[in-house]
Amino acid sequence: MKRYKAYAKVNIFLKITGKRDGYHEIISRFMRVNSLYDELSFVPKQSNDVFEIIGSFSCETKQNTIYKAYAALLASLEPEQAHSLEQLMQKYGVEVVKNIPAFAGLGGGSSDAATFLKMCNEVLHLGLSQNELALIGLKVGADVPFFVYDYESANVSGIGEIVEELEEEMLDIETFTPKIEISTPKVYGVYRENFYNPIDGFEVERLKKTPSKEILKTMSAEEANDLFKPALHEYKELKNHYKHGYYFSGSGSSFFRVKKEETDNG
């Protein structure tokens, strides 16, 4: 069966712009990490009554973003298409080769969910547009639309639902993930209580136009990501893993940098 790649992302910058309905609104630059991805495929299974995900996951099936994507897709389809989807998932399980660390700020769960939606759309010929898939994905998580659109780089705003492609030089990014499981809601809570300082519209527009390469040359890790300080505040052991020249992705725990070009010194 065909294998589908679910790529990781990093947040080149992540700034809070305000609050809406209990959510934080953001402006962020998402960039795909071409060297890091999970692989998803449909595989035939023995039992035909249970939704099955084959892979190493610490959560129960119904807590998995792939199952949540299935439930959201099922609820949005016409009865005939919904029946086809149910039949597909009775015959096949979803096998996931997991390479993107969980709880890491690299979007692994969101990317898996988006990839599953695209797989179903393709295999069942559902005819859903990217916009329709993105709206379904948004019910699963705020980062899912970015992965549905398959952009290499994009400015993401609102609570994640506004995704604007940015054509720019792709950077060869390497990631480093300490073994610290970070709770995104907890980090946002600490930000709200201790660090809340949203940026204004002028700064938003400036950041949206600035190439990622320039952001990483001119901003420190703390300046680029509003969640870095609250994450350090809540997870003190993060400090032991921070290395100069690295940046912080999402709410962590992953750090990243542009891969140094190999120079031959003879």
Give the pLDDT confidence score for residue 266 in this predicted structure: 38
Task: Find out whether 124 and 156 touch, Cβ atoms under 8 Å.
Answer: no
User: Measuring CA to CA, how many Å separate 246 from each of 42, 115, 145, 173, 217?
Assistant: 37, 28, 26, 11, 11
Preceding amide of 253 cis, omega within 30: yes
Res. 263: pLDDT tops 50: no
The string of pLDDT tens digits covering residues 204-249 is 999 999 999 999 999 999 999 999 999 999 999 999 999 889 999 9
User: Measuring CA to CA, how many Å separate 31 from each of 75, 111, 154, 171, 242?
Assistant: 30, 13, 7, 8, 21
Give the pLDDT confidence score for residue 215 in this predicted structure: 96
Token pair in block for residue 170: 């792709």
- The mean pLDDT of 60-65, rounded to a whole number, is 87
Q: How confident is the model at residue 23 (pLDDT cuts 50, 70, 90)?
A: confident
Most confidently predicted of 16-25, 47-56, 73-82: 73-82
Among the listed residues 126, 148, 122, the one whose alpha carbon sits nearest the alpha carbon of residue 137: 148
- The mean pLDDT of 43-51, rounded to a whole number, is 83
Cα-atom radius of gyration of the chain, to the nearest Å? 19
The string of pLDDT tens digits covering residues 68-117 is 999 999 999 999 999 999 999 999 999 999 999 988 999 999 999 999 99
Please state the pTM of the whole predicted model.
Answer: 0.92
- The mean pLDDT of 237-264, rounded to a whole number, is 86
- The mean pLDDT of 171-187, rounded to a whole number, is 93
**Percent of the chain predicted with pLDDT > 70:** 97
Give the pLDDT confidence score for residue 261 in this predicted structure: 59
Which residues are designated catalytic?
9, 143
- The mean pLDDT of 40-58, rounded to a whole number, is 86
Say which range, 12-16, 21-25, 135-139, has the weakest mean pLDDT: 21-25
Task: Find out whether 163 and 151 touch, Cβ atoms under 8 Å.
Answer: yes
